[in-house]
Structure 1
Amino acid sequence: MQAEIITIGDEILIGQIVDTNSQFIGQQLNKIGVSVYQITSIQDDEQHILNALKEAQDRVGIVIITGGLGPTKDDITKKAIAKFFNDNKLIEYPEVIAHIKGLFQKINHPFKEIQRYQAQLPSKATLLMNNFGTAPGMWFYENKTVFVSLPGVPYEMKGLITHKVLPKIQQQFKLPFIIHKTIMTYGAGESSIAERIEEFENNLPSYIKLAYLPSFGKVRLRLSAKGEDKEILETEINEKVAEIYQLLPEIITGLDDDSSLEKRIGELLQKKNKTISTAESLTGGQISANLVSVPGASTYYKGGFVTYSAETKINLLGVSAETIKKYSVVSKEVALEMAKGVKAKLQTNYAIAVTGNAGPTTDLTDKSVGIVYIAVISDDKEIVEEFNFGQPREKVINRTVSKALEIVYKELVL
């Protein structure tokens, strides 16, 4: 069973809002065995909506539409859907009107007649009561295709998907099982990993697929299995995960997003009963943010400093003015003094410090854009490394964060 998601709204097409609805719907459909064939974003135009519905009907068995169900003139989804189903009769649902009035009463807002339109649905629609907002969802079934129209407000859409839409889909169709396992790797590029596991990938059975999901400093390897017998699928995919562990033992941190570098670093620090602190320049606190994103980080992360200027490096971390004058703020020497300064001030076992030139200008240094120095020190070891992360600015910052965490992790697993 395949589905298509259609999001309606000019605000999506011009980048005014980000379409998070499709991401959530796709994730939830996948959990019940429905594959998303296509995601389409279209403008608030009746003919465009009609064309999209017809094309989707020719491709898939489930079409989920979000957006355009409000009471104002620019919300035309209901009108377009009624035209698509040749349904000119609207039915008013008293329970929806009562619900809307109840919501407005809670906020001391008067009920206006324009709101009555939201309680009127095409006669061919099955009402999907929206307990979180004013616009109900609609369910249609025609020519062996299910059409579901939902409000675009994310929390309203999520409530309807979870409590109304998914149960009805599971009742309507016999669905296969889809199982995913995602292996987290770090410190190796996509092409390097692909070369190492080429034979493994070539020998995968047809019902198991491997996807590479690269991002800064890491690659996620997602194994997906689809079939009728859940137990067999789980056994097979677990065996394949074990094979990848044997092929890439030194770069795997664990399974799924729950095995991020920052989480593994936290686990290792807790196991060793050690603490860590940070001193950041170009990254502006992002290393700190990553570390504290893990629940329980307060047991090992003592804090950090964002010292963006030479003055703050000197005044807060005790970096020598002479060192900066001789080597510039972007140097191994300054990175090391930053790490020593924060480690001493916060009395931690480990410290991370980063300084570099993210661009677009070089400011008070002769180092080119993209040059970064990362220092990681412990009670008995000092590491300072130089990197050239190129351009643009965002790439330099993100790669600095990833590489700093990678160096710490490698030291902790020794």
Structure 2
Amino acid sequence: MKPLPTERSCPFSPPDETARLRVEEPVVQRTVPQTGQALWLVTRHDLVRQVLADTRWSSEVDSDANRNDFGDRPGQDGMFLLQDPPRHTHYRRMLTGKFTLARMNALRPLIEQIVADQLDELEKSPRPADLVSRFALPVPSLVICELLGVPYSERDRFQETSQVLLSLTATLDEMQAAGEEVEGFVTEFVARQRVEPGDALIGDLIRTHGQDLRDDEIVQIAMLLLIAGHETTSNMIGIGALLLLRNPDQAALIRDGAPEAKGAVDELLRYLSIVDMFTLRRASQELTLNGQVFAPDEFVTTSLAAANRDPALCNDPDTLDITRPKVPHVAFGFGPHQCLGQNLARMELEIAYTGLFRRFPDLALAVPLEEVPFRTDMAIYGVHSLPVTW
């Protein structure tokens, strides 16, 4: 049996084989390269949405029968990404109101100031400068620390461990050690918040739901928001900036605030789809998808990147067009587990890209594209570093 496809002829596009599979074998069995574990890969847009919307495809993949095959730890209360209704609904309902568009818009001045400050620091840097370490990583890290109430001075403790947790090459022992490290850090933070709740999200969660939530539940919620809240956005800022440098006419539209570029962020999200073949689902019972019958406890993963390049989704899907009308892409997932922080992510990306290209209209890649280290070894795609000059 073949492994999941990974080979890319273009670093900005999904693995080449997914285009063929989407047409010829949209539901096909493959193996996980790191473990050899068998699972099914779904690549067609309508089928991907069908899997993600149907909770019979369980998010609780760490059942006793299958946990060791994937190296997953047992699901913990509060880690709602790995839970089904009603547990998932219970936790998500507590947080949904804290991520509304109105609440995120109230953060806009703060995010604009964070971006401006980081651009000031970047401008002072010797050239060439690494856009990832100098801009793409600190902006969302500062934002998520402000949002949750985590001291930014302690960011190294969760940034380093999250890199291990999302690595495709780390050993199980390394991942377990990293998980224990970040859990220990967040446990200390939650204990302080329990005594003296701050004004940020975790303190607010304790004030409003503290009687209903144990500390270990709050720890799991905080861990999920902390890691997801900076890793995805930072990688999207980095690789998105690189893609725009390769498409200067489209970067100019963003820089100039052209009305036709208002959908730029969603088009970049669709086109790059940096979270791909990451989410596992387990058949909780006998299920059928596209004529294929699945026995209970068989696994499925979805290629969000392949789904977002489906010609059924939009015309000419392999072309980047930031003036494209918004389409129902699945870069943030779909269904009950669709990204909770998508409003925040969109706003951060919009402010970051606009600020970057306005401050540095002559921004340029300082090395050949072939020398840019892409994150092919990580569960979240992007670039490890991005040397730029201006």
Q: TM-score range by the shorter chain?
A: under 0.3
**TM-score, structure 1 normalization:** 0.19
**TM-score, structure 2 normalization:** 0.20
More strand by share: 1
